Structure 1
Amino acid sequence: MAAGGGTGAGADTEAGPEAGTEASAGTGEFSRLLAGHRVAAGLTQEELAAAAGVSLRALGDMERGRTRGPQRRTVRALARALGLDEARAQALDRAAQSGRPRGLRPGPARVPAQAAPRDPLPQTPAGSGPAGTGEAVAGQVVPGQAGLAGERGQSALALPRDIADFTAREDALAALAGLAAGERPAHPRVVLISGQPGLGKTAFALHAAHTLAPRFPDGQLSVDLAGMSAQPLTARDALGQVLRALGVEDAAVPAGTEERAGLYRALVRDRRLVLVLDNAADEGQVRPLLPGSGPAVTIVTSRNVLPGLESVHRLSLDVLAPAEAAALLARIAGRERIEAAPDATAELARLCGYLPLALRIAGQRLVARPQQPVAQLVRQLAAEENRLDLLETGDLAVRPAFELSYRRLPVEARLVLRRCALTAGADFTAAVAAAYTGRSEARTELLLEQLVDAGLLQPATPDRYRLHDLVRLYAAERLAAEEPAEELAEVRSRAGRRILDRATAYGLRFDPEHEKDDAAVTGRAPAHLTEAAHWLEYEHPEWLAALHQAQQSGRYREVVDTAEAMHWFSDRLLSWGIWAEVFQLSVDAARALGDRRAEAVHVNYLAWTYVTCLHRYQRGIELAGEGLELAKEVGDREQQGWALTYLASGLRYLRRHREATEAFHRAADAFADVDSRSARIGRLVTLRGAANCLRESGRAEEAVDSRRRALAGALELVERWSSPLMHLLAAMTAHELGLDRAALRRWPAAEKAYRQALVHYEAVGRPDSMTKTLTELGTALIEQGRAEEARELLTEALTDLSADGPRPGPPRH
């Protein structure tokens, strides 16, 4: 920008129209020169006013551009007070002269030099970025506005163009607009927009700045701080660019960062302008560029959350919602084309991880291939090994966006990011990540927080973290490229053992035969059953993946032992879809070991799964028969009892009640031959099963009598061994007694049984089977004419159960 001839974007608009274009431009130049010289001299407005013999208000008006050009004697007094040399004094007078009304042509002020002239700083060419970075910088003034911002032409920091297909982000835009609404804010308005690479932070900031432009007539500027480059723009250089964009001559730009920041704050104190600081590296780069007061709005974007940046409004962008992602694809690739393939579009958005950058690339690929069906691109992206390669078109690419952030990480944080790719769940805790990193849990958590600050990891809950799918693919690429295969195999094995040890320890807490000797447990002993249940539920993707890995590695005994530890816990989550997978692995492992008794046990577990969880009764009956033969072969009466129990249950569900009752009786005989806690439980289960057959055969009165004996036995077990399993058995038995009484339409008695079941379910920790009892209790209340009470009960129950949170999803792989 040529000295004195550049375009500003920060002048006030209060000069009268009679001043004209030339006068307005000159006044603005004079005000910026005066403010620059004062800050460079280290003087406050009060000090300069007193030294020059002018009023403080007059000096303030001069610096704000509210006068058309002070007289020569005033300029001479100011130059003297500022200690300006002859050349600078004349430049100041020329600027003042150009703002005076036409006809007044006083000569330049001549002030004896009282201080050695300062060396002028090198001039930055218009539109250039910091040396060596190749980064462009941009900003905008609004043509046609009164004052200097509308008269000086195009600024070197003009806003890049807004994108026509900008989509979504309505809530964030509304929040930012609300923040910018006030005319006289109590504090400077600074908005930090953060988030992972590819979220469209820059596009959002620029779109917001364009949207706010009519309300900020003094201009809109944008500076690329090049935070992800090898040499980010320094605060000093950024200030230099902004000051020159505001019309400060090179000679008047102070040398130091603090002086430049002071001049900048003075210039924007009363100006309504928007400054976009894009791609910030850290807090130290941003702070000097923030106004000290006034109506300006500063929008900062950064991949880092900049936690040390105080007194800012934070907007954290996330990925788009599925409908928003589809809308963006439609705006890029054409609405008809996208709406013609809704299923393929939904899958395309999912494969892009709903990340705006990836969606834009996918949309542009479709634009470049007008004959390509959306489904074909979906098929190509479905291969994970090719996805990042395909998410590149022209100068848009996902992988380099992640690469920039990755290369700026400390070495240890890079390792943690890579190892996070080994986790199996959609999210994970620091403890799980520590199993893969080989660091302590505390150290791993610290490094995970660094990744959150860098925008490469997101907090899913207060104690869980989430990798975006595309970041996970990138981390897996770096893992394969940077770590030897032998080392990775050892990492997986070590982590798998650690996770399975924890899973086994927690699972055994639900085993009625397990002694409560925490000292004998491998690894950290569970402190409470609730903690154990929570861990087993939410970390099941990890321990299930570790179970598969153990099977593939030939660690069959680990597989059998882990599944054995899980089988009593499995009663708490009958609707879970993983038990067939777990127990099929353990059956295969037992066979690989040649352990016939273990095979009998785990074939029985698999039979239970098919009958009780999957409701595939015929297959369950077949497996129960297989388990019975194996148990007979090894002479295990207890396992014969369980095989007959599962056989009878399958027959009952197929309405073959006579055969089922006979099998239940045979199972009871087998359990009677064994003196163990699980055999006592088995006898109770067979008694319950036989009573169910009676009710379903139309013999509900006999079922009630039999069930009462079963409930008495269950309560005796609760009294003797007050454990969650015993409470669960009592709850199920009381629930079934309610069903028996309901079949006889004895609704008050049924209600009493259901409420008794709920008491025991609460002691268990509200398993998913509790919902059936709540539903039946609601029916009993309605049948008694208490519909409003039923509605309140079910509404409260739904609220409470929803508050427990959704069941964790399936493993990623």
Structure 2
Amino acid sequence: MRAGLSQEALSHAAGVSVRALADMERGRTRGPQRRTVQALAEALGLDDSEAVSLEKSAAAGRPRARAATGAAGSGALALPRDIQDFTARGPALAGLLELAREDGPGRPAVTVVTGQPGLGKTAFAVHAAHRLAPHFPDGQFALDLHGMDPEPTTPRDALARLLGAVGVADAAIPSGTDDRAGLWRSLAGERRVLVLLDNAADESQVGPLLPGPGPTLTIVTSRHVMAGLPSVHRTDLALLRREEAVELLTRIIGPDRVRAEAQAARDLADLCGHLPLAVRIAGQRLLSRPHERLGKLVARLAAEGRRLDGLQAGSLRVRAAFALSYRQLPSDSRTLLRRAALAAGADFSPETGALLSGLAYDEAVACAEELTDAGLLQSDPAAERYRFHDLLRLYAAEQVDAEDGPGVRGAALDRTADWMLRRATAAALHFDVDHERTASPSDPDPDGAPTGREEARAWLEAERAQWLAALRHAHDAGRHRQVLDTAEAMHWFSDLNQHWEQWVEIFRRSADSARSLGSRQEEAVHLNYLAWAYNLCVHDPHAALTAADGALAAAVECGDGLQQGWALGYGAGALHRLGRMEEAQARLREGARCLASQESPQSRLAELTMLNSLGTLLRQTGRPAEALEIHRRSERICRDGVPGRTEEVIALYQAVARQQIGNDLAALKRWHEAEAPLRQALAAFDAAQMPIWSEQARLDLGQVLGALGHPEARGTLLSARDALAALRNPRQAEAAEALAALDEAGTGTGTG
């Protein structure tokens, strides 16, 4: 060598590895890349003509892609054809383009594209590879690793094909996997090559195929998250947005058909769950039937039992895409996936999954995490909960029918319903004024039970769909005592959540269960609860009056004076809402008299409710002075106390009385006197975390502050309007009107 340099010295001077120099010398690398040649020429001190001659020699030996023959270790791995109607994924593509433009040691050499079955990971990766091709002039190769097959491609075979693609002769390919991986890293480190490793099984399959630092970019697609691969760029594909799904459909079947049935196109996108594979199948099916209306396919897919059958076109089948992943799962994970499809609501907890699948809690968590990593479940970003894609839930439900049968399915539902109702009953009792606020011994798992109101509320809200489904299941199965116990436990908790419309169903079922058990007293109780729900939760006074009259008849028949009083009160509330004021007033007075004659603490609280309601009715019918007298009487009863009831409970009733006293004083235009009791009421409701009550008191206070020209008026009314709207309370309209009047008057414009 004219420069007199050893391989080590030349390596240092040129910035080319000793191994690369040795491979050139042995003929393994017959055509080094242009920038490598330039670095060697400079290190060797060659003049221009010598450098040109060296480059020509290198170019002559540089390998060219060879036609694929399908045999392992031979043939170039050409990129598949790009999809011409590829849609959306703009931000994800931009991220890869930016990655391709980067250079230097800090650039990730690998990007992993993951997501659930049907998201179009391969289509995205192929499209991205074609877009990125100009950045990788030394070649673009694609290799299907068959990760979902019974026998995925081995790293050894995959490396043989990659080495062959970059020009290494079959005879020069090492026999061992590690040696092949080392040679591949060396060659890839010198070339600006793009490699697509599609359909990878796991990290152990992919790891040996990855290049070291250098200009090569590797795109890996997998249904698994590949969490074990370090220092990689990640592209997690999501479902299409609705408009993107419609755009994909438009590109497949043409804009004229979509414009002609715009709503049907949107409905079709929704029925496909915005899953690219499903939308593509629907589009291909319509494309093959140019005279078929979109609405016809929508009607077919609307039936859940036929939806997966409808989502197939030729060899494309949504069911088949799901089945590939399902068959790869261990037995316990398959069980959890299919049984979780029986859960109610949009998502489910590990508790529900464990109960349905018959697994221990920790086993269910491990399986759910595995299913999430496999793209078959989606995990909640904050809570330990999981959800299905709609189409995948249908597939999982099919597997329940196919693999478990009605007996196993019924046992899973029975087991889950019983556990859920016992936990729901114990949790709801934390809000019952007659119950100790400790974990109930009736809870199915006392060690894991909610230990206070906040935990109990959180559980009841998170599992609302599940325990309601359990109540339906128990009712339909004839377990009427369990239905009654659960509904009774929910009574006080329901007051905190008047905006939940399902209280109508809960108390309708419990009243029916009482009737089935032949208990007229319990029927009166639960019909009264039902009348309350009709009045305050769904604002249906006609149904409320029917329920209240039924409760009154049952209470009279069994001689229950307390329930007679409540029935008169709930009936009065319905009559009030129907505008039948005189009848409502008469029922309230009768109810108050009935309750005043009784001695129980429950009767005192019911009497307070009757008096507060009577006073409100008097005020609304133009008799605020009489109303004020009634409400002050109610306040005096609260101050005297009710034996057997806690100060906390009495404070709530006193807050109601004070709210009404404030409104009475406002009706009498005694604005300054009205402010204090309304503030006291609002503070009490806020402290008790009863938003449906506190927001109405906030509205009342805001109106008084507006009349006073107080700077807090607008902010108070604005807050009340927004909260009442969120609670679906009819008084939101009243709040909006008060705000508009305030703005028109130009007073109370502070923000609070």
Normalising by structure 2, we get a TM-score of: 0.85
Corresponding position of 1:619: 543
CA 1:723–1:559 in 2, change beyond 3 Å: closer, same or farther? Answer: farther
The total of aligned residue pairs comes to: 695
Corresponding position of 1:281: 201
| Deviation sequence 1:30-88 (CA, Å, 0-9, x none) | xxxx9xxx9xxxxx94478699999xxxx9995767449999xx9xxxxxxxxxxxxxx
Note the C-alpha offset of 1:554: 1.5
Aligned residue identity for 2:186: A
Aligned residue identity for 2:486: T
Q: State the alpha-carbon separation in 2 of the partners of residues 162 and 798 from structure 1.
A: 53
Q: Tell me the SS of whatever aligns to 2:380.
A: strand
Q: State the alpha-carbon separation in 2 of the partners of residues 62 and 343 from structure 1.
A: 59
Q: State the alpha-carbon separation in 2 of the partners of residues 313 and 718 from structure 1.
A: 67
Aligned residue identity for 1:359: V
Corresponding position of 1:545: 469
Q: State the alpha-carbon separation in 1 of the partners of residues 436 and 161 from structure 2.
A: 73
The 5 A counterparts of 1:215-234 are: 215-234=135-154
| Deviation sequence 1:450-469 (CA, Å, 0-9, x none) | 11111111102431100111
Note the C-alpha offset of 1:666: 1.7
Structure 2 unaligned spans of 5+: 1-6, 45-52, 728-752
Note the C-alpha offset of 1:266: 1.6
Matched, 1:346 2:266: yes
Aligned residue identity for 1:530: E
Q: State the alpha-carbon separation in 2 of the partners of residues 168 and 566 from structure 1.
A: 48
Structure 1 unaligned spans of 5+: 1-33, 39-43, 75-94, 106-122, 132-136, 138-154, 805-813
Matched, 1:433 2:353: yes
CA 1:174–1:519 in 2, change beyond 3 Å: closer, same or farther? Answer: same
Larger displacement relative to structure 2 (170-179 or 421-430): 170-179
| Deviation sequence 1:675-710 (CA, Å, 0-9, x none) | 444322211111110111111011223323433443
Corresponding position of 1:501: 422
| Deviation sequence 1:710-757 (CA, Å, 0-9, x none) | 345457769985587656545544444443344344445444344323
Corresponding position of 2:573: 649
Matched, 1:358 2:282: no
Q: State the alpha-carbon separation in 1 of the partners of residues 77 and 301 from structure 2.
A: 39
Q: State the alpha-carbon separation in 2 of the partners of residues 744 and 214 from structure 1.
A: 81
Aligned residue identity for 2:357: T
Say which of 597, 602, 612 aligns to 2:521.
Answer: 597
CA 1:363–1:53 in 2, change beyond 3 Å: closer, same or farther? Answer: closer
Q: Tell me the SS of whatever aligns to 2:221.
A: strand
Q: Tell me the SS of whatever aligns to 1:568.
A: helix
Corresponding position of 2:687: 763
Q: State the alpha-carbon separation in 2 of the partners of residues 272 and 51 from structure 1.
A: 18
Note the C-alpha offset of 1:803: 12
Say which of 34, 44, 68 aligns to 1:126.
Answer: 68
Q: State the alpha-carbon separation in 2 of the partners of residues 341 and 319 from structure 1.
A: 23
Q: Tell me the SS of whatever aligns to 2:691.
A: coil
CA 1:63–1:101 in 2, change beyond 3 Å: closer, same or farther? Answer: closer
CA 1:634–1:220 in 2, change beyond 3 Å: closer, same or farther? Answer: same
CA 1:596–1:47 in 2, change beyond 3 Å: closer, same or farther? Answer: closer
Aligned residue identity for 2:57: G
Q: State the alpha-carbon separation in 1 of the partners of residues 175 and 647 from structure 2.
A: 75
CA 1:280–1:514 in 2, change beyond 3 Å: closer, same or farther? Answer: same
The 5 A counterparts of 1:18-29 are: none
Corresponding position of 1:472: 393
Q: Tell me the SS of whatever aligns to 1:643.
A: helix
The 5 A counterparts of 1:41-120 are: 45-46=17-18, 66-67=36-37, 99=57
Q: What is the Cα-based RMSD across aligned positions, in Å? A: 3.5
Note the C-alpha offset of 1:207: 1.6
Q: Tell me the SS of whatever aligns to 1:484.
A: helix
The 5 A counterparts of 1:196-595 are: 196-461=116-381, 462-516=383-437, 518-523=439-444, 524=446, 525-595=449-519
Note the C-alpha offset of 1:179: 3.0
Q: Tell me the SS of whatever aligns to 1:518.
A: coil
CA 1:779–1:800 in 2, change beyond 3 Å: closer, same or farther? Answer: closer
Q: Tell me the SS of whatever aligns to 1:520.
A: coil
Q: State the alpha-carbon separation in 1 of the partners of residues 131 and 642 from structure 2.
A: 67
Matched, 1:189 2:109: yes
Aligned residue identity for 2:522: A
Note the C-alpha offset of 1:522: 3.1
Note the C-alpha offset of 1:391: 0.8
CA 1:271–1:681 in 2, change beyond 3 Å: closer, same or farther? Answer: farther
Note the C-alpha offset of 1:415: 0.7
CA 1:480–1:621 in 2, change beyond 3 Å: closer, same or farther? Answer: same
Q: State the alpha-carbon separation in 1 of the partners of residues 131 and 696 from structure 2.
A: 54
| Deviation sequence 1:774-797 (CA, Å, 0-9, x none) | 44444444444456x455556778
Q: State the alpha-carbon separation in 1 of the partners of residues 725 and 531 from structure 2.
A: 31
Q: State the alpha-carbon separation in 1 of the partners of residues 635 and 511 from structure 2.
A: 33
Contact 2:678 2:701 in 1 (8 A): yes
How many percent identity over aligned positions? 46
Q: Tell me the SS of whatever aligns to 2:141.
A: strand
CA 1:407–1:670 in 2, change beyond 3 Å: closer, same or farther? Answer: same
Q: State the alpha-carbon separation in 1 of the partners of residues 185 and 20 from structure 2.
A: 17
Q: State the alpha-carbon separation in 1 of the partners of residues 565 and 639 from structure 2.
A: 22
CA 1:310–1:522 in 2, change beyond 3 Å: closer, same or farther? Answer: same
Q: State the alpha-carbon separation in 2 of the partners of residues 261 and 749 from structure 1.
A: 86
CA 1:233–1:801 in 2, change beyond 3 Å: closer, same or farther? Answer: farther
